[in-house]
Structure formats: structure tokens, C-alpha cells
Amino acid sequence: MDNDKLLYDIYLTLYENGVVQTIKGKSKNRDARAQIIGHAYYAATDYPWPVIGITDTLLEEFKKNDFKRPSVKDYPITRSHIYHRKDFMRELFALDKFNNPSELRNYFKKNDLCILSLKKNNKDIKEKIYDTKNYWRLDGPYQNIFFARSTGWGYDKKKLEEFYYWADRKKANTQ
């Protein structure tokens, strides 16, 4: 079965049947639809939470480490989500119903974006999405340097190194 169709069918079932109560834990008796659709989305999508940028501080840390992925204790890296996932997942059920799998997919593509940063720089960056002074936008040939894995991320070391030297030259030309 087509994953977009499967995801849409799950969404329709959740949307049309209303609140799904959680049955355990601290969130007992809360609406679980956002959590359910979130798990389905991340399991059924090849490229969830695309990385659209990288902070300058993280790019410099990669350079210092010869573009090798460092251990988490050396400098913790995180995905700084532009829009909080729990919010846009919940919003799915407050909006008018999507009419087809493409509309649902486009909603996810528009909202599930992040910028890779050092953990200490991770904060709500929603306001900075169009202000590229705080991060380098990854587009064109660099748009898929970082990619999702089941619970983490991977990256193309050679492309990252190439991007660093491109960004470094561009930075030098603007100073």
C-alpha cells in the first residue's frame, strides 16, 4: 500500500471518530490523536523533519572535528524544530479536514522543518526561519546533507565539508 494513502486513512479515521482518550500515565484522559498520527507519520515517511539549515556554531564545531560526527558528550547536537511538533500534530484535528493524501503530505512538509544546532542553541526559532543571519540555509545541492533515521539522523560527510568551504567563502565576501 502507498504510505501516503495509508497515512491519510489513519488520519481520516482519527479525524472522523473524534477524541481518542489515553489510558495510562500522566496524560491519562487526554486526546491521543496527535501522538498516534505523529508515530504513523514518522514510521511511514522516508524523509521526516527535513533539515533546512545549520547554525554557524555547529558548522564550526564540525570543522574543528574534521567533519566527523562527534560523541554526544563532546558537543550535543539537536534538531531545532521551527514549529513544535506536538502543536502542529494537534492542529491537524482542529483544521478543516484535508481532502486527499497530497494535502495532508503538504501540511507535514510545510510544518515539520528543523535547523541543526548545538543543544545549547536549541530554542524556539520560529521567528528566525527567514532570518538567515543565525543559520546557513541548506538548499540546492546541499538540501539533503542531513537525513532522518528511525530515532536520530545521519549525514553526508563529504557534502558537509564541501558546504562548509562554500559557506566560509561566502562569509568572507560579506565582511
Q: Does position 173 have pLDDT exceeding 70, yes or no?
A: no
Confidence of residue 11 (pLDDT cuts 50, 70, 90): very high
Q: What is the pLDDT of residue 94?
A: 93
**Is position 28 within any domain?**
no
**Is position 94 within any domain?**
yes
Q: What is the pTM of this model?
A: 0.78
**Is position 92 within any domain?**
yes
Q: Is 125 strand, coil or helix?
A: coil
**Is position 1 within any domain?**
no
Q: What is the pLDDT of residue 162?
A: 92
**Is position 23 within any domain?**
no
- The number of distinct structural domains making up the chain is 1
**Is position 10 within any domain?**
no
**Is position 108 within any domain?**
yes
Q: Which three cell numbers stand for residue 5?
A: 494513502
Sign of the four-CA dihedral 70, 155, 66, 56: negative
Length of the chain counted residue by residue: 175
Containing domain of residue 170, as a range?
47-174
Question: Rounded mean pLDDT of the chain?
Answer: 83
- 89 burial (CB, 10 Å; 0-12 / 13-18 / 19+) is buried
Confidence of residue 27 (pLDDT cuts 50, 70, 90): low
Q: Which three cell numbers stand for residue 100?
A: 486527499
Mean pLDDT confidence for 109-114: 89
**Is position 120 within any domain?**
yes
- Residue 16 CA to residue 7 CA, distance in Å, equals 14
